[in-house]
Amino acid sequence: MRRFFLFSWVIVALLLTACGGQTPAATSTSTPEAQTGGKSITLNGAGATFPLPVYTEWNQMYRSVQPDVTINYQGIGSGGGQKAILDSTVDFAGSDSLLKDNQYTKMPDLQMLPMLAGAVVPIYNLPGVDKLVLDGPTMVDIFMANITNWNDPAIAKLNPGVSLPDAPIVVAHRSDGSGTTEIFTSYLGAVSEEWKNSVGVGKAIEWPADKNGQGIGGKGNPGVAQAVQATPNAIGYVELAYAKSNSIPFANLINAAGNEVTADAETMQDAMAAFANAFNERLTAKIMNAPGQKSWPIMGYTYLIIHMKENQNCDKTKALLEYASWAVSDPAAAQKAADLGYATLPNAVKELVMAKLQEVTCNGQKVLQ
Amino acid sequence: MQRSKGSTITPMLSSQLGNRNPSWRARMGRWLQHGDRIWRTALLVASLLTVLLVLMIAWEIWTGSTLSRHEFGWNFLLPWVESVWNPALDRFQAWPAIYGSLITSLIALALAVPFSVAIAIFLSELAPPVLRTPLNTMVEMLAAVPSVVYGLWGIYVFLPVVVTPIGRVLAASVGSVPGLSLLFAGPMPVSGTSRLAAALILTFMVTPTIASVSREVLQAIPRSQREASLALGATPWETVWKVLLPYGLSGILGAVILGFGRAIGETMAVTMVIGNVSGSGYSVLRPGYTMASIIANEFAEAVSDMHTSALIEIALILFVVTIILNVIARWLVASVNRKTMGS
């Protein structure tokens, strides 16, 4: 018994010394941050997963621009990001979907800033078919489950000379709420009144193909891509950046001008240029079914959400604004975004964003001079 | 150090015991008695904490689902209402998810129970000693495989190789028989993602659980039971069938309920193979949802407060179903025990 007590005391003593040994180390790492007197700044952001790859790269690159500023961005989804900034648990949020009116009422000084745009592409799995062309009405019919077989004349007419299988079309879609779904369904709604009224547009909808057992839901871009790749004769939709980085074939589309286009930097820029003047006072715009000759029709902006007035820590606000203007205007940052499959802002939109950044105040004072 | 601690306690003890001067050994004994009480209190607090935890979860999902409960009432879970799960319109009915959970778990149990009991009987009664240990280890290892591994293996191997052909055969044979066509209407997606796929993956997941617990149950049966049966001239088969299984029935039932619990709560593997769609009818050859998988898929990015609330209500249903299952299990085990005691 005595030995047991001795033993336990030895353990307690060891634990104490172990903790004691850690304490100085912990203080020594935290000291420099404290000594710089607020110069070392950490900005926390969260939100959309769509721009996560490029934000992560940017945050790394920004280390060499502003070594004192650390930016953390967590991809928790657009809805999560909006909730986080409304709860004031983050310094900024990322979002693909627009804030709703009641959210603006709760926090009137929230501002959405377009950062990048991205395209959504229809991906498919048709063994032996290397190139597929679709147009808006046909896409609507496929996702409405009006067209249920690949050998349908509507598809055949768009793809002369391609041998399409006599097989049911399996429709893969997101099972989680997603900005990608919102962009994609907005496109279908822009093409077809019937879609807009009977199915709807949003981050999550009820898919008609599910009703007859030909729908499959997948979580996230990887889930949809996996479902399409595992299922011959399936069609689905993912972001261009994801399709490109994973070499998934995607279909060409007939755009609003009646031309066949593929999703790339040129067609995305064309669509954005066509809608460069479409921004409203909230600095949001749709780039859906753009009328340009070469426009890729399924696109959307991704936004940062920041506070315009309710800023308390002016050093943090300044750091955030500098980061945002760097991200929008720096050529290296733009190059990185383009490499990853995103579309960078046209000059007209850049100027709108920069002007908005100038207006941000902290304790009533303008932050950027 | 130990002395100093002892001395802080001693005055209190000695004041309680009057002013005797007990020996060290006696003091130690009293201290231990005291320690016993402390120990008992600590255990009581620990077990009360689990109760508190359950109550807090119940409270949280009850209040969290208020919005949805008020909006949809009983229509939320009743099967005869036309089922809608439409985040765009904020209309939600949980029946497809409830049906998905029940049908996949029940098919899994129906397939797994005979297998598991057979495995248990073999391992406990018939296996030669050389085979027994390695087989035991293998079965227990299977029970410990993480569910995401089952899911991955399901997607890439099991679904295309096994489920898709089975689905094709079922759809072609019983798929058009009136009555059965409700359950077996085709076509199944070529990838095999379907309720049937989920049920079969669950079968693999619950079999080792049921088998290893049932084996423990059979092994715990006293030798005298077997010896008595064999002495009466029963064959080994008769011994198993007429003596061991009835004797161990309550334990085996417990194992089955444990398996059911695992099946109905399983999330990851099911999400990966079931196809994650709502309102696709009753056919097992079609993709669907379970209660656990719809929460896993949609909760993080729920579109509206009503959507969140509806998902929390599904959690509430899952919670209640689990409690009901536990109650049924206890009642079954108790009634079986009464019967075997009586005979």
Say what the pLDDT of residue A11 is: 52
Instruction: Please compute the mean of the pLDDT values over residues B60-70 and round it to a whole number.
Output: 94
Domain ranges (residues) in chain A: 9-117+300-366, 119-288
Asked if the structure places residue B218 within a domain, the reply is: yes
Instruction: Judge whether B188 and A232 are in contact, CB under 8 Å.
Output: no
CATH classification code of A119-288: 3.40.190.10
Contact: A219, B286; criterion CB under 8 Å: no
Choose among B1, B89, B286: nearest Cβ to A9: B1
Q: Kindly determine whether residue A216 and residue B278, on different chains, have CB atoms separated by under 8 Å.
A: no
Band of pLDDT at residue B278, cut at 50, 70 and 90: confident
B317 found inside a domain: yes
CB nearest A206 (choices: B85, B190, B271): B85
pLDDT value at B58 more than 80: yes
Whether the predicted pLDDT of A14 surpasses 80: no
Q: Which residues pair with A254 in a beta bridge?
A: A135, A260
Same domain, yes or no: B310 and B220: yes
Helix B305-342 × helix B24-64 angle, to 10° = 130
Separation CA A49–CA A55 (nearest Å): 10
* B221 falls within a domain: yes
Helices B245-265 and B195-219, packing angle to 10 deg = 140
Residues B239 and B106 in one domain: yes
pLDDT of residue A57: 93
| Among candidates A76, A175, A205 on the partner chain, residue whose Cβ is nearest the Cβ of B276 | A175
pLDDT for residue A1: 45
List CB contacts (< 8 A) between B296 and chain A. 219
Q: Is B298 on the interface with A (CB under 8 A)?
A: yes
B109 occurs within a structural domain: yes
CATH number at residue B272: 1.10.3720.10
The tokens of B213 are what?
């617990």
Q: Is the ipTM of this complex over 0.85?
A: no
Range of the domain at B129: 73-342
Q: How many domains does chain B have?
A: 2
Residue A206: its chain B contacts at CB < 8 A? 84-89, 278-279
Which pLDDT value is given to residue A312? 81
pLDDT over 90 at B303, yes or no: no
Question: Mind listing the pLDDT tens digit for each residue in A17-42?
Answer: 444 444 333 333 333 333 334 578 99
Task: Tell whether B108 and B229 lie within a shared domain.
Answer: yes
Give A167's contacts in chain B (Cβ within 8 Å): 190
E strands in A40-169: 41-47, 69-75, 92-95, 110-125, 133-135
Q: Of A256, A301, A307, which Cα lies nearest the Cα of A92?
A: A307
Which DSSP state fits A132? -
For B107-131, what is each residue's pLDDT tens digit? 999 999 999 999 999 999 888 989 9
DSSP A252-297: EEE-TTS-EE--SHHHHHHHHHHTTT---TTS-----S--STT--S
Nearest-angstrom CA–CA distance, B39 and B32? 10
3-state SS assignment for residue B128? coil
Identify whether residues B20 and B129 lie together within a single domain. no
Interface test with A, best of B9, B273, B301, B305 (most A CBs within 10 A): B301
Residues B189 and B287 grouped into a single domain:
yes
Which residue from B248, B258, B247 is spatially nearest to B328, judged by alpha carbons? Answer: B258
Rounded percentage of chain B residues whose pLDDT exceeds 70: 90
Same domain, B19 and B151: no
Residues of A with CB under 8 A from a CB of B: 1-2, 5-6, 9, 76-80, 167-168, 170, 175-178, 199-207, 210-219, 223, 226-227, 230-234
Q: Is residue B68 part of a domain?
A: no
Stretch A253-272: mean pLDDT: 94
Tokens read off for B332 = 């079954």
Q: Please check whether residue B115 is in contact with residue B207, taking contact to mean a CB–CB distance below 8 angstroms.
A: yes
The answer to whether the CB atoms of B193 and A231 lie below 8 A apart is yes
Residues with Cβ within 8 Å of B5's Cβ and at least 6 positions away in sequence, in order, are none
pLDDT (tens digit per residue) in B209-242: 999 999 999 998 888 999 999 999 999 889 999 9
Looking at residue A36, its pLDDT comes to 39
pLDDT band at A319 (very low <50, low <70, confident <90, very high): very high
Residues B77, B30: one domain?
no
Q: Are A262 and A252 in contact (CB under 8 A)?
A: yes
In this structure, the answer to whether residues B21 and B132 fall within a common structural domain is no
- At B222, give phi and psi (nearest 5°): -60, 145
Q: Tell whether the model's pLDDT for residue B98 goes beyond 60.
A: yes
Cα-to-chain-centroid distance, residue A365:
32
Report residue B106's pLDDT band, with 50, 70 and 90 as the boundaries: very high
Query: Is residue B11 domain-shared with residue B103, that is, in the same domain?
Result: no
pLDDT in tens, A234-243: 999 999 988 9
Return the residue of B nearest to A171 by Cα: B189
Amino acid identity at A347: N
Query: Which tokens hold the place of A39?
Result: 């110069």
Task: Tell me, yes or no, whether B126 lies in a domain.
Answer: yes
A200 phi and psi angles, rounded to 5 deg: 105, 170
CATH class of A9-117+300-366: alpha beta
Q: Could you tell me if residue B61 is inside a domain?
A: no
* A204/B189 CB distance under 8 A: no
Q: Note the pLDDT of residue A336.
A: 92
Same domain assignment for residues B125 and B218: yes
Is B335 a member of any domain? yes
Q: Is A165 left (phi over 0), alpha (psi -120 to 50) or beta?
A: beta
Tell me if A9-117+300-366 shares its fold with A119-288.
yes
Intra-chain end-to-end CA distance of chain A, in Å: 74
Nearest to A172 by CA among A244, A220, A118, A240: A220
Q: Which residues of A touch B298 (CB under 8 A)?
A: 175-177, 204
Q: Is A347 helix (H, G, I), strand (E, B) or coil?
A: helix
**Residues with Cβ within 8 Å of residue A239, at least 6 apart in sequence:** A50, A118, A119, A120, A121, A180, A221, A341
Q: How far apart are CA A195 and CA A191, in angstroms?
A: 8
- Asked if residue B178 and residue B100 are part of one domain, the reply reads yes
Please state, in angstroms and rounded to a whole number, the distance separating the CA atoms of residues A23 and B101. 51
Q: Are B242 and B168 members of one domain?
A: yes
